[in-house]
Amino acid sequence: MKSKAILTAVLLTATNVSANCLDEVASFAERICGEIEEGGTHQVIEASGELKAEVTGILRKVVGDAGGSIDVKHLTESWESVLREDLAGERFSARECRIKMVEVGRNEACIDQVAVPPPPVCTYVSIRSLGWRSGHKTNFCKANGYPQGNFNQGDYKNGGICMAGDASICKASVLGQLSTAYYCQPEANRTVCYEK
């Protein structure tokens, strides 16, 4: 199990994929390679170049237990290919098997599960951070990519914010009246609000 945790950690830091998918793939790779090794199989390929029946059986049994987050048929075909082409050496190596299986699993089963952040509802930035010193604020904001213009709370010289997206959400955030259906967070030099 220690090798599964290490493989998952290394792959998670190397790519932007779902930790659950990687954990599931690492677990299956651990089981497949472990069962092949425990079964005493030193070679995974018949003289004909096909996978040995017991290896195919182990692979299909283990992958068949997969939950809903993995494309079982596609992953099975990919792993069979790894066993047939990459691990067909003189002697089966469980360590090499695990590494190759996790790599293929990550590439084949997990890449489509990359978390895509929701689109922002609104974005706002201090007008002063954009360089405004004087003049028409709304035109300045629009010229700098914030088409909803300016919201000024208090003194005109204070500057206020430039807004893009839903201006009412931006204003509510600035006033501390944001609905619990939204959340805002700083990103770079601006604040971005999302729907929960």
pLDDT digits (tens, 9 = 90+) for 160-171: 999 999 999 999
Q: What is the dihedral of CA 18, 99, 105, 28, to 10 degrees?
A: -90
The confidence score (pLDDT) of residue 122 equals 95
Which segments of 113-164 does DSSP mark as H helices, in order? 137-143
- Higher-confidence position of 192 and 116: 192
Q: What is the pLDDT of residues 35-64, one digit of tens each?
A: 777 766 556 656 565 666 666 666 666 656
Note the pTM of the prediction, 2 decimals.
Answer: 0.44
With 0-12 / 13-18 / 19 or more C-beta atoms within 10 angstroms meaning exposed / middle / buried, residue 193 is buried
Model confidence at 140: pLDDT above 50: yes
Backbone angles phi, psi at 64, to 5 degrees: -65, -20
Bridge partners of residue 51, in order along the sequence: 45
Indicate the pLDDT class of residue 194, thresholds 50, 70 and 90: very high
**Mean pLDDT score of the chain, rounded to an integer?**
75
Q: Which residues contact 4 (CB under 8 A, 6 or more apart)?
A: 23, 26, 27, 29, 30
